[in-house]
Structure 1
Amino acid sequence: MTGQHGLDLGTFGIYTFDFEHQPAAGIRDAVQELEGLGWPALWVPELLGREALTHAGFLLASSRRLSVVNGIAQIWPRRARSTYGAALLLADAYPGRHVLGLGFGGEPRPGVKPLAAMAAYLDQLDEPAAADPPALPNPRPATPLRRLLAAYGPKMLELARDRADGAQTYHVNVAHTAQAREILGPDAFLAVEHAVLFESDPARARAAARAHLRGYLETPYNIAKFRRLGYTDDDLGAGGSDRFVDDLVFWGEPDAIIRKLHGHVTAGADHVAVQVIGVEPGESALPHWRLLAEALLPTPPRAHTVSGRSGPAVRA
């Protein structure tokens, strides 16, 4: 859907940590192949050392049509004014292709309320554009600066609706997507990340899923999020119940995974960013991205703009 937010990233995109530790040449080759496969959008985090805005700029420079989304740029490493200036340059240099995803992120900060911290950061982010005269050159590029907020609870979702183009979620179930859409209303953009694992053996699949989710079960913000999703102490203990890991990581045969991903679209997501897990260190997820492209993307490969909230038909 392209509503009042003006965002259109296609129905499915790629979310990956892979580029956090790969050399530039390998990243460039992978990005160009992803674009050739027809992927419309690429999401990258800020966690293992890559600075979010320079990372996005390199990915944009390595491609011609691909949209690049920070998923997320943490609000702590950069002053809001610096974030604004960097995002403004990317909006001007790559019209319509960069989306600034912002989130609380990072280590727990005792005594800091995420909602208040994000609202204050947005206030600071908006100051340069509101100044008269504008505080930075070219304050209004031809394609405006676009931003999303990492949001889970009702109040942060409301903030994303009111002060950004919409929300992005990470490690949520399909039920949360429906709840988020209700809070955001019909016009705000909703993007959902979801992990997938191409493994059909239940024991191996769940072991890999638990390894992936382990760190998220050790931080208070994530635990609070999972409780809001309806998971109990039994679900969150001992590495996560089968119900928990099956909801948060779609595993099995490709057809089953694709069907489950479409569940987020049916529940109200404009876009689903697919994160492939279970790739051994040093190996590439490209074989899995090729398979997903065959199943999820239209033929022939497309540019980065498509329309329609409902997903494309699944190809056999």
Structure 2
Amino acid sequence: MSSRPALGKIGVWTAALKTDSLPSEQVSEVAAELDELGYGAIWLGGSPSPDQAGVLLDATSRITIATGILSIWDHEAAYVAERHTALNAAHDGRFLLGLGVSHSALAGERYRRPYTAMKEYLTALDSAPSPVPASQRVLAALGPKMLELARDRAAGAHPYLVTPEHTAEARDILGKDSVLAPELKVVLDTDLDRARTTARGYLARYLALPNYTNNFRRLGFEDADFADGGSDRLISAMFALGDAEVIRARVDEFLAAGADHVAIQAVTESPLADVPRAQWRTLAEALPLDKG
């Protein structure tokens, strides 16, 4: 796509900053701090509604707010298109619609022919009374077919739980003009045994989802790597573990492999409950943010 979303090089991925998880005042306070720290985007996880993204838009003045991702099974396309248009009109075009097909374990009986369903959803966004331009949406793409769709019918891709090697392959498929914004999980802990334990506790839930394990197999991992929360090899590939400089080095690997932007997810011992403000502050000093 010729028109790229304004993301900067580094963003934050979090599922915590939603008003069904935290009081709206706390959500707004944290979002405002991330804006001030210089992060380029907040990727709101857990299939957020556009209105939940709107709380973050209201609290900020510069940063892009993206859904990372909105499940196409949970949100009707015409409503999403209507709210997308209204939010961007009110907030200087800072809302980026990240879309995904989620997982059969989460979507249940609705989960049928996900690639076709995504194409149909994009068509519904195109034909809505307030269409969502392709330049204002990205897809949670892992495999080649979805990456091609992200190239042809969106601004690009937001792959989740991937490696620099996947990023290089995705860039080859997307071409030079599409945006590529992978998510990267990090554990800011110099005790590597403890960091691996933290990472393994979080990764275990993803190892039950075939979309991810199939992608891991494409990257050369085997069934033995999926046992007991993940082998050391898998953990080391999917997480950056250590101090801020180690994490900066992994971010640089993603950027060198072809990423335009890296969405950092700071993983703690209680990743679904914690708002890791201390980690975000530490990383803001080490990562290439726009401090101006």
Distance 1:245 1:239 in 2: 9
Distance 1:220 1:214 in 2: 12
| Change in CA separation of 1:298 and 1:204 when aligned onto 2, cut-off 3 Å | closer
Matched, 1:64 2:54: no
1:284 partner letter: V
Per the alignment, residue 249 of structure 2 pairs with 259
2:182 partner letter: V
Greater relative contact order, per chain length (Cα 8 Å cut-off, separation 6+): 1
Q: CA offset at residue 298 of structure 1? A: 4.6
Per the alignment, residue 149 of structure 1 pairs with 139
1:97 partner letter: R
1:127 partner letter: S
Q: 1:207 aligns with which of 197, 207, 215?
A: 197
CA RMSD of aligned residues (A): 2.0
Distance 1:283 1:85 in 2: 32
Is the 1:190–1:269 contact (alpha carbons within 8 Å) kept by the matching residues of 2?
yes
CA displacement, residues 71-108 of structure 1 (integer Å, 9 cap, x when unaligned): 00110112211111111111211123110000001525
Higher radius of gyration, 1 or 2: 1
Matched, 1:231 2:194: no
Q: After the TM superposition, which of the residue ranges 216-225 and 69-78 deviates more from structure 2?
A: 216-225
Is the 1:88–1:145 contact (alpha carbons within 8 Å) kept by the matching residues of 2?
no
Secondary structure, counterpart of 1:10 in structure 2: coil
Q: 1:293 aligns with which of 284, 287, 291?
A: 284
Equivalences for residues 1-316 of structure 1 within 5 A: 4-20=2-18, 21-47=21-47, 51-106=48-103, 107=106, 109=108, 112-128=112-128, 135-136=129-130, 146-278=136-268, 280=270, 283-298=274-289, 301-302=291-292
Tell me the matched-pair count.
286
Distance 1:97 1:197 in 2: 29
Is the 1:5–1:189 contact (alpha carbons within 8 Å) kept by the matching residues of 2?
no
1:160 partner letter: A
| Change in CA separation of 1:109 and 1:222 when aligned onto 2, cut-off 3 Å | farther
| Change in CA separation of 1:121 and 1:284 when aligned onto 2, cut-off 3 Å | closer
Is the 1:231–1:244 contact (alpha carbons within 8 Å) kept by the matching residues of 2?
yes
Q: Which runs of 5+ in 1 are unaligned?
A: 129-134, 303-316
Q: After the TM superposition, which of the residue ranges 277-286 and 14-23 deviates more from structure 2?
A: 277-286
Bigger fraction of residues in helix: 2
| Change in CA separation of 1:175 and 1:144 when aligned onto 2, cut-off 3 Å | closer
